[in-house]
Amino acid sequence: MRQQEEMPHLISCSLLLLVLLAPTNCSASARAAAGVSSISSAAAAAAAAANTTSSSKNKPQAAALIVFGDSIVDPGNNNGINTIVKADFPPYGDDFLNHRPTGRFCNGRIPTDFIASRLGLKDLLPPYLSPQPLDKPDLITGVSFASGGTGFDPLTPKLASVISLPDQLAMFREYLGKVRAAAGDAKAAEILSRGVFAICAGSDDVANTYFTMRARSNYDHASYARLLVQHASSFVEDLIHAGARRVAFIGIPPIGCVPSQRTMSGGLERGCSQGHNEVAVAYNAGMVRELAALRKKYPGTLLVFMDIYGFLYDMMMHPRSYGFTQATKGCCGTGLLEVSVLCNGVTSAVCDDVGDYLFWDSYHPTEKAYKILADFVYDNYVKLII
């Protein structure tokens, strides 16, 4: 039974912004050199042990899984950088191996862990900035460069002091050098040609940079969506130039319906924020068009747009159809605002049955919800590029 304590837990929206988005110094060189994490060595060792045997004994469906993006797919890259946007402390990881926090913004595994497993590669996709050096099998089967709090808008990673998408791409080029040194040029070439490259970002641009911080107040919904499309499509093209040939691009979900955005922008009844979702829909439509143009421009590259908006919206509106009873609050604390450092083992109790909850904190789904989403993504989209 999980600990459940009744306690006063009043957190203002201004405190949430101050804590999560206060700028700190985090240079690109410091990010690349980061090797210290508050994750315990025991947790890191446990994660490494889990990866020694893939959940699938069949031949892997891809050479590797390479991931870029934000907290949805960050397995712990933020642990060792100078940012407040972290999840390497309890109750995060409450249902992970040995109940240890790893830096995943979840109670357990995240979507890329499930995708790596279904591809037959390994059970857990590690962070590139792992606190322990990755061994050769783990290195050559893929890593995540994702950083919680980042986005396509260049302002977003600056506001949160996290790793930008261009810096993640620079880390990927460094990674390829390590692969060549460990396994040769042929293996690096195989990863580029047969690896699955996944990109998942944009939600923090909409929720944090645009609506919460009002950092782009001179843009209306449509023009901000176009700005994001411009930067996102440029990143995809840069990734193609770096050698990627099988690219999966994940669209923005109905971000206006996550608990924190309901609380801050959904009125007294905490409904979905229409504005957030309008930007998401416009952005997704723009990326569909951009990816179609890129397919014509690069006929040797497989590009797929993974539309998760409708599926997640249905989960949020009809949670019982997916095995949940609560979809408007997170399991951590009050479930209204707690995320990252505000979801902690000191001030935040957790719900009795996390299996009833679609969301772990006020922004990120639970492991159970991620598993459902990952299966949807794999069955409908990943299979198109393997």
The one catalytic residue among 37, 70, 71, 205: 71
**DSSP secondary structure, 230-257, as one string:** HHHHHHHHHHHHTT--EEEEEPP--GGG
**DSSP secondary structure, 174-203, as one string:** HHHHHHHHHH-HHHHHHHHHH-EEEEE--H
Q: Are 258 and 276 in contact (CB under 8 A)?
A: no
Give me the phi and psi of 256, to 5 degrees please. Answer: -70, -10
The one catalytic residue among 70, 221, 361, 362: 361
Q: Are 370 and 107 in contact (CB under 8 A)?
A: no
DSSP bridge partners of 65 = 196
Helix, strand or coil, per DSSP, at residue 18: helix
User: Catalytic annotation on 364?
Assistant: yes
**Alpha-carbon span 50 to 384, nearest angstrom:** 28
Q: Are 143 and 66 in contact (CB under 8 A)?
A: yes
**Alpha-carbon span 180 to 239, nearest angstrom:** 18
The number of angstroms, rounded, from the C-alpha of 250 to the middle of its chain's C-alpha atoms is 10
**H helical segments located in 266-341:** 274-297, 309-317
Classify residue 156 by its DSSP letter: H
The one catalytic residue among 221, 231, 276, 364: 364
Q: Are 166 and 174 in contact (CB under 8 A)?
A: no
User: Catalytic annotation on 71?
Assistant: yes
Q: CA torsion 51→57→61→64, rounded to 10°?
A: 20
Catalytic residues: 71, 361, 364
